[in-house]
Amino acid sequence: MKTDSETVIRVEDLTAGYGDVVIIDNINFEVKAGEVFIILGGSGCGKSTLLKHMIGLLPPVKGEVFIEGKEIVSAVGQERVDILRRIGVMYQNGALFGSMSLMENICLVLEEFTDLPREAMEFIAEMRLKVVGLQGSSHKMPAELSGGMRKRAAIARAMALDPKILFLDEPSAGLDPITSSQLDDLIIELSNSLGFTFVIVTHELPSIYKVADRVVMLDINTKSIIATGKPDYLRDKSDNDWVRQFFSRES
Amino acid sequence: MASIDYQVPQKGDLRLIIQGRLDVESTTPLWSQALKKLAETKPETLVVDVNAVDYCDGTGIGLLLELRRTQQENNRRIQIEGLKPEFQQLMTLFDPGQISKPLAEKLSFGRFIKRAGQLGFKTWDDLRTQISFLGELAVKFLAAVLKPGSIRWTDTFLLAEKSGADAVGITCMLGFLIGLILAFQSARGMEQYGAQIYVADLVALVLFRELGPLITAIIFAARSGSAYAAELGTMKVNEEIDAMTTMGLDPVKFLAVPRMIAGLFMMPLLTMFNLLSGLIGCGLVMLSLGFPPVTFLNRIQNATSLGDFTGGMVKTLVFGMLVAGIGCLRGLQTGTGASAVGDSATRAVVTSIIAIVVVDGVFAVVYFFLGV
């Protein structure tokens, strides 16, 4: 765990919900630079809702989210764009643009935010695809790829502008154990080589044990955080029975 | 920020000295600059001095890799000096190796003929599929009619309401406007011959035999045919059709037959509303020309026969089945991807309109020989 590093994300007194329904009630936590940080919890506890608030897609009922010291909720215009450029997001199903090749999917972001010549953009897109193990697939359409490949391509697109923070929503969902494990290896490699900070929403225990530096666990009943720490520690020493059961896969 | 300097240690060689922070913002201006210099000088040996680079992200590494690739492609040497070990690791991680290019197709007469042939076969196949599907639908429709209990009447009534009752307003409005415009334009021409009284004959005949069924069918195709295609297309994308098939349920029977029944019954009714509105539009023009309503009604009775009306109504039955059938076929043919449902709806409308016009032509020939 990289506790000595600087804080890159800070969630303060966050209350989130839809309409009158509160899903997350007054939570606080920090994510350190270079950390692989997992948001965990049972179905319906608000993991994806929390992620959407962290990337500024949903406005909170109360509270603030700081990305590298800048508040994302109140940011507008260029200030907001500048914050969003520092992060990359992989959505649950990849969310690649179906009418564009992988190359075009990646170049679209580069075209919008840089003045690089077209050849340079294509070269950078090839590089990103190489990192995620999809070299030679740049001219393929998303429909030609398997679920795992689509997720890898989505990570490559999220990396287009060299963000330092990557948010992944359920990266292992719908993947076979081998592909899922390969994706975990990729996360570890990107974290070690490029120093990315990962915020991952998942409830796949094997993946969590493999990649996580730290875990924050949400509870559907209290609508708050019931545990924070390393997965091994929570399994063996958490004072909450349900948390220990969750990490031990006991019913 | 980053900067770049050039030195020529000896003739034919080049030394690029890069300093500062190589991230996506600072690398962008350097990229074109460095490659332009390389293209101008074509150095036998390129030395890239990055001793003073204190930070390098993926884009910065991209510039170094691009310089290396350009030199190697031209069989020239490159030496990268002073790259910190952590960035060296990134060079290996990011190196895409051989870049794949899409195969460019050359234009030639042979290729044009091949394409034209492929298009011809595709169109022929599509036509066969349409005929075969409409045949299958007709058989299943007859089977359902012989066994009315097997028809999903709740769905059928709901579909009939959506494609029939909900469309009365637009059908009437268009019918009224077309009757009005047709009468007004004809009246201007006939005024020269003092034959304005025959405007009623002309409009009534044209509406009963041709325009009424045709306009209603086109509205039905645009409104309901596209909706059928989009609805079934979305079900296909969501794998609901697959689920239905694997449960042993026939999608044609469960989805297409109710829509066909709705089309069959709603088209004649909508056409009648269209005709009535058209005649009202025409009557208004006649009234404005000084002809009393009774004269207008007498002219319509004299000019048209029951054959004109029933001839038009028979057409509407066929148009209704065609539009519903084609809408369902295009929906069931929906592919994958975000645009697939939109494409299916477009294809449903285009195919339906073509089919309506072609079948209308066939009716014209048949009616001519039958003396209708």
Helix (H) / strand (E) containing B17: strand B13-22
Q: Does B100 map to a domain?
A: no
Q: How far is the C-alpha of B226 from the C-alpha of B222, rounded, in Å?
A: 6
In a domain, residue B116? The reply is no
Q: How far apart are CA A162 and CA B57, in angstroms?
A: 7
The predicted pLDDT at position B323 comes to 96
Q: Percent of chain B scored above 70 by pLDDT?
A: 98
The answer to whether B365 contacts chain A (CB < 8 Å) is no
Task: Collect all residues of chain A within an 8 Å Cβ-Cβ radius of residue B102.
Answer: 139
Cross-chain CB nearest to A131 (options B94, B336, B338):
B94
Please tell me the distance in Å from A127's CA to the nearest CA on chain B: 5
- What residues pair up with B80 in beta bridges, in sequence order? B48
Q: Is the pLDDT of residue B175 over 90?
A: yes
Phi, psi of A195 (to 5 degrees): 70, 25
Asked if A162 and B57 come within 8 Å (Cβ–Cβ), the reply is yes
* Domain co-membership, B182 together with B327: yes
**Which residues neighbour A62 within 8 Å (Cβ) at sequence distance 6 or greater?**
A13, A14, A15, A26
Strand order in the sheet with A197-201: A87-90, A165-169, A197-201, A36-41, A214-218, A225-229
Confidence category of residue A1, pLDDT binned at 50, 70, 90: very low
Question: Using an 8 Å Cβ cutoff, are A135 and B97 in contact?
Answer: yes
Query: HSE-up of B16 (CA within 13 Å, CB side)?
Result: 28
Tell me whether residue B7 is in a domain: yes
Q: Please check whether residues B223 and B83 belong to one and the same domain.
A: no
Residues forming beta bridges with residue A27, ordered by sequence position: A14
Residues with Cβ within 8 Å of B41's Cβ and at least 6 positions away in sequence, in order, are B8, B14
The pLDDT assigned to B101 comes to 66
Q: Looking at the structure, do residues B61 and B158 belong to the same domain, yes or no? A: no
Give B132-139's long-range contacts (Cβ < 8 A, gap of 24+). B133/B252, B133/B325, B133/B328, B133/B329, B134/B321, B134/B322, B134/B325, B134/B326, B134/B329, B136/B252, B137/B252, B137/B256, B137/B257, B137/B260, B137/B321, B137/B325, B137/B328, B138/B321
pLDDT digits (tens, 9 = 90+) for B338-361: 789 999 999 999 999 999 999 999
Q: Is B173 inside a domain boundary?
A: yes
Nearest to B337 among A123, A143, A194 (CB): A143
A104 CB near a chain B CB, below 8 Å? Answer: no
Residues of A whose CB is below 8 A from B84: none
Q: Exposed (0-12), middle (13-18) or buried (19+): which is B102, by Cβ within 10 Å?
A: exposed
Q: Are residues B78 and B145 in the same domain?
A: no
Convert the pLDDT of each residue in A86-132 to its tens digit. Answer: 899 998 888 888 878 999 999 988 888 888 999 899 999 999 998 88
Name which of B56, B93, B336 to mutate to probe chain A: the one with the most chain A Cβ atoms within 10 A of its Cβ.
Answer: B93
Distance between CA atoms of residues B17 and B189, nearest Å: 85
| Residue A36: its H or E element | strand A36-41
Closest CA in chain B for residue A189? B93
CA–CA dist A132, A182 (Å, integer): 10
Residue B103 lies in a domain: no
B90 interface with A at CB cutoff 8 Å: yes
Domains and their CATH numbers in chain A: 1-86+163-251 (3.40.50.300), 95-162 (no CATH)
Which residue reads 């920090």 in tokens?
A30
Share of chain A above pLDDT 70, in %: 97
Cβ contact, residue pair A99, B65, below 8 Å: no
Residue in chain B nearest A161 by alpha carbon = B24
Closest CA to A116 of A165, A161, A159, A80: A161
Measured CA to CA, the distance from residue B70 to residue B64 in angstroms comes to 10
The answer, for A76 touching chain B at a CB cutoff of 8 Å, is: no
Which chain B residues touch A142 with a CB distance below 8 Å?
Answer: 337
Q: Which residue's entry shows tokens 């994308």?
A: B237
- Which residues in chain A touch residue B96, judged by CB atoms under 8 angstroms apart? 123, 126-127, 129-130, 135
Number of domain units in chain B: 2
Residue with tokens 């007004």: B184
Taking the C-alpha atoms of residue B323 and residue B106, their distance in angstroms, rounded to an integer, is 40
Phi, psi of B140 (to 5 degrees): -70, -30
Same structural domain, B359 and B308 = yes
User: Does the beta-carbon distance from A138 to B100 stay under 8 Å?
Assistant: yes
For residue A251, what pLDDT is reported? Answer: 45
Query: Are B61 and A127 inside 8 Å of each other by CB?
Result: yes
Task: Determine contact, residues B216/B316, Cβ cutoff 8 Å.
Answer: yes
Residue B297 belongs to some domain of the structure:
yes
**Domain assignment present for B119:** no
Asked if A146 reaches chain B (Cβ–Cβ under 8 Å), the answer is no
- Extract the tokens encoding B349: 């409308």
Q: Would the CA dihedral through B190, B209, B176, B353 be positive or negative?
A: negative
Burial bucket for residue A157 (CB in 10 Å: 0-12, 13-18, 19+): buried
Checking if the pLDDT of A166 tops 90, the result is: yes
Q: Which residues of A touch B55 (CB under 8 A)?
A: none
Alpha-helix residue ranges (DSSP H) falling in chain B: 24-41, 58-73, 85-94, 109-146, 153-163, 168-190, 199-206, 212-220, 226-237, 240-246, 251, 257-288, 293-303, 306-332, 340-370
Residues B83-137: pLDDT tens digits?
888 888 888 888 887 776 666 667 788 888 999 999 999 999 999 998 999 999 9
Nearest CA in chain B to A131: B94
Q: What's the whole-number average pLDDT of chain A?
A: 88
- Average pLDDT in the B172-200 region? 93
Residue of A124, A130, A159, A189 for testing the chain B interface, max B β-carbons within 10 Å? A124
- How many Å apart are CA B164 and CA B266, to the nearest integer? 5
DSSP track, B144-166 = HHHSGGGS-HHHHHHHHHHHTGG
B338 closest CB neighbour out of A99, A113, A129: A99
Inter-chain CB proximity B58 and A127 less than 8 Å: yes
Instruction: Tell me, yes or no, whether B339 and B257 share the same domain.
Output: yes
B343 touches chain A (CB under 8 A): no
Q: Looking at the structure, tell me whether residues B300 and B240 fall in a common domain.
A: yes
Listed by number, the residues of chain B in 134-193 with a beta carbon closer than 8 Å to a beta carbon of chain A are none
Cα-to-chain-centroid distance, residue B174: 24
Residue percentage of chain A with pLDDT more than 90: 42
The closest CB to that of B28, out of A115, A129, A142, belongs to A115
Between B327 and A183, the more confident residue is: B327
CA A57 to CA B357: how far, in whole Å? 49
* E strand or H helix that includes residue A214: strand A214-218
- Asked if pLDDT for residue B210 goes beyond 80, the answer is yes
Q: Does B32 touch chain A (CB under 8 A)?
A: yes
Please determine, for residue B203, whether its predicted confidence score (pLDDT) is greater than 90.
yes
Can you tell me which residue has the tokens 């764009």? A81
pTM score of the predicted model = 0.69
Q: CA of A90 to nearest chain B CA: how many angstroms apart?
A: 18
- Where in the sequence is the domain holding B226, given as residue range(s)? 136-370
**Start-to-end C-alpha separation, chain A:** 29
Sign of the CA dihedral A24, A29, A35, A40?
negative
Q: Å from A96 to nearest chain B CA?
A: 10
Pairwise CA distance, residues B352 & B218, whole Å: 8
Q: For B129-163, how does the pLDDT look when each residue is reduced to its tens digit (9 = 90+)? A: 989 999 999 999 999 989 888 888 988 999 999 99
Within this chain, do residues B231 and B349 fall inside the same structural domain, yes or no?
yes
- Cβ <8 Å between B31 and A116: yes
CATH of the domain at B31: 3.30.750.24
C-alpha to C-alpha distance for B350 and A166, rounded to whole angstroms: 45
Per-residue confidence at A250, pLDDT binned at 50, 70, 90?
low
> What one-letter code names the amino acid at A215?
V
Mean pLDDT of A55-77: 90
Average pLDDT over residues A202-218: 91
User: Which has the closest alpha carbon to B141: B9, B307, B324?
Assistant: B324
B159 and B302 inside one domain: yes
- Give CA–CA dist A129/A103, Å, rounded: 9
- CB proximity B107 to A under 8 Å: no
Compute the average pLDDT of residues B310-322.
Answer: 95
Q: Does A127 touch chain B (CB under 8 A)?
A: yes
Chain A CB within 8 Å of residue B24 CB: yes
CB contact under 8 A, B66 and A120: yes
Inside any domain, residue B120: no
Q: Are residues B171 and B270 in the same domain?
A: yes
At B341, list the tokens.
């449902």
